Structure 1
């Protein structure tokens, strides 16, 4: 994919929309390649994370199941953040292929394109599940009205975020801004940094 901001944002939103619908019918897959393949993989972890979070909030789930879900959530969240970084790395490759070099006075954004795409991914999931609520027959009119109001706000936010991402990419393509990949450096899954993990390892070794 060449570095075309409008085309990229449109393709990302289309991918999010289509895969969320499909993955509710079949096992999550990744039929994309190159840049969109990276976006799809990151989106898949958000999809899996979303549904584990739903399970965790069910009052009927056993403590043992909750423990399993919590570990799954930690794993998916780690992968989600790792793949945000990979999206940003993919953007750096696209910029390099387009021979883009940031100007000497290029500025940074507080949020990277990968982080924006992560937010669009989550928004596509929220919109899908709100739309599901409109199909329920066991709720009253007040519930439907609340859902419609939330859905309208989500669609506005999705549009605003898409526009902001496109503007950011235009600035990157023009060299007005610079992209850096910031590592999340999560500590809780690192056996050398989480005290509960490395202390447990010492006890087992003793």
Structure 2
């Protein structure tokens, strides 16, 4: 593959390396480039922040105000995660020659897909997003296998789950490589699907619309 198209192994290696980086995700190291890898890293950054915030939102011994703060942060991180996923798709579609570059970031990108190519229901960006989440799950489950305060049964069960997670990630990585290879060969394509997170938009969330009318 050309250098503009990543191998799944490169992506999973980056995910794992960032999780092992001191200060991450509060401090972000410089990305490999300002294109694809910037957005792969940004997606992983917000998945990591989202993961931590989801843990905090499950607390039972803090005030309701603290949990509300967590929930608002979750909404923001989730939106940023989805935005980065879309940017990954845009960069890849341009690199693959499947979309007109000038229209790639619009809500109506102009397709340059070859005739006969099949549409893949999942985008490459969403698969990379899922690989990011798999890295987090593997990292967290591996920590469970290393606990000193857990009994042998818990450690054994965690090891079984860790193996399943690692297999799941390997399978997903293989599917990503296959999609990119097929897209490069003109056999497949995917689209940028704008997420339209309506609950975050005061123009579309019916509760927020109703609140604005009460002012």
TM-score in terms of structure 1 length: 0.91
Q: Secondary structure at the match of 1:45?
A: helix
Aligned partner of 2:192 among 181, 190, 194: 181
The Cα RMSD (Å) is 2.0
Structure 2, unmatched stretches of 5+, are 101-111
Structure (1/2) with the larger helix percentage: 1
Q: Separation in 2 of the partners of 1:72 and 1:26?
A: 15
- Determine if contact 1:9/1:162 at 8 Å carries over to the other structure: yes
Partner of 1:135: 146
- Determine if contact 1:30/1:40 at 8 Å carries over to the other structure: no
Q: In structure 2, do the counterparts of structure 1 residues 183 and 23 end up closer, same or farther at CA, with 3 Å as the change threshold? A: farther
Partner of 2:39: 38
Q: Secondary structure at the match of 1:164?
A: helix
TM-score in terms of structure 2 length: 0.87
Shift of 1:24: 5.6
Please give the per-residue CA displacement for 1:143-181, whole angstroms capped at 9, x wherever unaligned: 000100000000000100000100000010001112211
Structure 1, unmatched stretches of 5+, are none
Q: Separation in 1 of the partners of 2:30 and 2:10?
A: 14
- Higher relative CO (CA 8 A, sep ≥ 6), structure 1 or 2? 1
Shift of 1:110: 1.0
Instruction: Summarize the alignment of residues 6-155 of structure 1 with structure 2, pairs less than 5 Å apart.
Output: 7-22=6-21, 27-32=26-31, 33=33, 34-96=35-97, 102-155=113-166
Partner of 2:169: 158
Q: Separation in 1 of the partners of 2:130 and 2:191?
A: 18
Q: In structure 2, do the counterparts of structure 1 residues 25 and 199 end up closer, same or farther at CA, with 3 Å as the change threshold? A: closer
